[in-house]
Every structure is written in C-alpha cells, then in structure tokens.
Amino acid sequence: MEKYGARAEDFAEIARISHEHSQRNPYAQFRQEYTLQEILKSPMIHAPLTKLQCSPTSDGAGAAVIVSESFLASRPQLRSQAVLIAGQALMTDSPALYSKSAMDLVGYDMTKRAVNQAYKEAGVGPKDVSVCELHDCFSANELVLLEGLGFSEPGKAHEMVRRGDITYGGKGPIINPSGGLISKGHPLGATGLAQCAELCWQLRGWANNRLVDAKVALQHNLGLGGAVVVNVYKRADGQANTKLSDAEIVKQSAFEYNPAAEARHPSKADAEKVRSKLYKNDYALGDTQEKIQARL
C-alpha cells in the first residue's frame, strides 16, 4: 500500500473473488459468497486483513498418480486424461530474505526465481498461462504473488485486481477457480495436491461448472521459512481443454459420477476397488472402514 498505492479494498476484492469462485467447488470448506463490504467489515485480524481474507484452519487429503511416458504409451486410452508436468522448480529463500522487504519475507523473491525456471523448462511464459492455483494463504500474499509470477508489471498487481482480470470475463489468468486457500481451505500438507487436482480437472475439461479455457496451467505452493514449488502443466496430448458433460466423463473414466463437480463420500464398494488384490488383509484393515463411515 505504501510502495505502490494499493488500497484496503484491493485486498478485500481478492477475497471476494476467491469466495465467489468457491461456490462451484464441491470440495471447498466454505462455499458462501460475500459482498465487498461484508469482507471489509468482518473482524480485523491485522490491518488491512480481515477474517474473510485469511485462510481457515483446515483438514484435508489429496493424492496424485504419477506415471512414466512408457506407462502412458502402453495405455493410449488414458492420454486424453493425462496431465504433463511440463516444467517444475523448487527454490528456497536467498539472502534477499534479509533485505527488510516484507514482500520478500512472504516469498516474492523465491517465487520469481522458481517460476522463471519452470517457465523456461516448459517453454512458455506468463502470457501462455490461462488458469493458476496460487498460494493465497492471505489476500496480501496473492497480491504480491501476481507480480512475482509475472502476471503483472511491477507495482501494477492491484490494478489487475481492480480491472477484474483474475476472474471469469477478465483478461486472465483466472486465479484460484477452486476458491483458493482463503475459501477452499488450507490443509497444509494436502494444499499442494488439492491445487494439482483442480488444475488436472481443468485441463481434462472435467471442471465443467467452472471451466477455464486453457492449454497451460500454473501451480504455485509455498511455505515460509522458506521454500516454494512451481509446476507448469499441459495436457499430455498437447491439446487445449474442452468442456465435457458428466456423461462423457463417466464414460471415459472409472468413476460413476464427475468427481470435479460433485463430492461423494466413499462407500464400502469404493474402498474395495482400491484395496490390494494380492495382499488384502482384513485384520490389518481392522475397523477403519466402519470408523470412516461413522465420521461421515
């Protein structure tokens, strides 16, 4: 705010957009839309950040299956669903951390270095990215990271927010269609895999209730103290995504429903599908299934 002229309303607008996006994500912890004034008037945590601009305490789980090109080549029916990790970089803090810059303290410098390496490996640039899941643990972080990831010119990120570029109908990229950490939730270790799942659903065309037309997706996940991981994703078949109907998704997948648009509790039959056929042991499983069903 002091350096570039952003206002409290700019931070609140980021949160408003995240909460609006979360309405269409069945896995979001909070799926309620708020007005800008409601966000500004929610309890102050640390000025200018109010409660609705901060990620909540969350529990969660995520998983990803990573395969080789040879595995995929032997199963051509999976190629349209496979998502390529086209670029990947992990960076830690540099001496810039001690520059007395609050922006570097929350990951600006290491994010910039990581994303540039990932872009180079993937052969793309920020203008190629149509959809991004970034680590918006607080609205202030998102404003800093929009610049760090190359989506805005230095000092212009708040103008990008004011124009509506980060949501549907704007210039893009669309930021956090899942609702982000602010509204989807921030279950720490599972946060990165939740971002991965959302972007895979986007690139496959499965996120048909919130789809962003995309050929390149970007994932950004960080932890203070400090490390950052950036992934650039593309479809393995090199195509842009197209919206699929729920019926088409069921036909091409092992699911009986569209998991991107509907969240269902696992049934006993679901559990049996993923248990080992060779090393199944009921004694080892114990009463796990019963406990899960009781909690659900």
Examine the domain organization and report whether 191 and 282 are in the same domain.
no
- Which of 78-82, 199-203, 272-276 has the least mean pLDDT? 272-276
Identify any residues that bridge with 229 across adjacent strands, giving them in sequence order. 90, 221
pLDDT of residue 211: 98
Q: How confident is the model at residue 97 (pLDDT cuts 50, 70, 90)?
A: confident
Examine the domain organization and report whether 47 and 97 are in the same domain.
yes
- Domain contains 15: yes
The overall average pLDDT reported for the chain is 94
- Domain contains 252: no
Report yes or no: 164 and 194 within 8 Å, Cβ to Cβ.
no
259, exposed or middle or buried, with CB in 10 Å at 0-12, 13-18, 19+? middle
CATH number of the domain enclosing 236: 3.40.47.10
Q: What average pLDDT score do residues 179-197 get?
A: 96
- The β-bridge relationship of strands 227-235 and 216-223 is antiparallel
Distance of alpha carbon 55 from alpha carbon 136, whole angstroms: 8
125-169 tens-digit pLDDT: 999 999 999 999 999 999 999 999 999 999 999 999 999 999 999
Examine the domain organization and report whether 186 and 80 are in the same domain.
yes
247-277 tens-digit pLDDT: 999 998 888 899 999 998 877 787 788 888 8
Q: Which helix (H) or strand (E) holds 271?
A: helix 268-274
Distances, alpha carbon 249 to alpha carbons 133, 177, 215, 258, in Å = 23, 20, 19, 6
Examine the domain organization and report whether 136 and 197 are in the same domain.
yes
- Domain contains 88: yes
Examine the domain organization and report whether 166 and 223 are in the same domain.
yes
pTM for the structure as a whole: 0.93
Q: What average pLDDT score do residues 39-54 get?
A: 97
Report the domain count for the chain: 2
pLDDT of residue 17: 98
Examine the domain organization and report whether 164 and 280 are in the same domain.
no
- Domain contains 2: no
- Domain contains 261: no
Domain extent at residue 273: 268-296
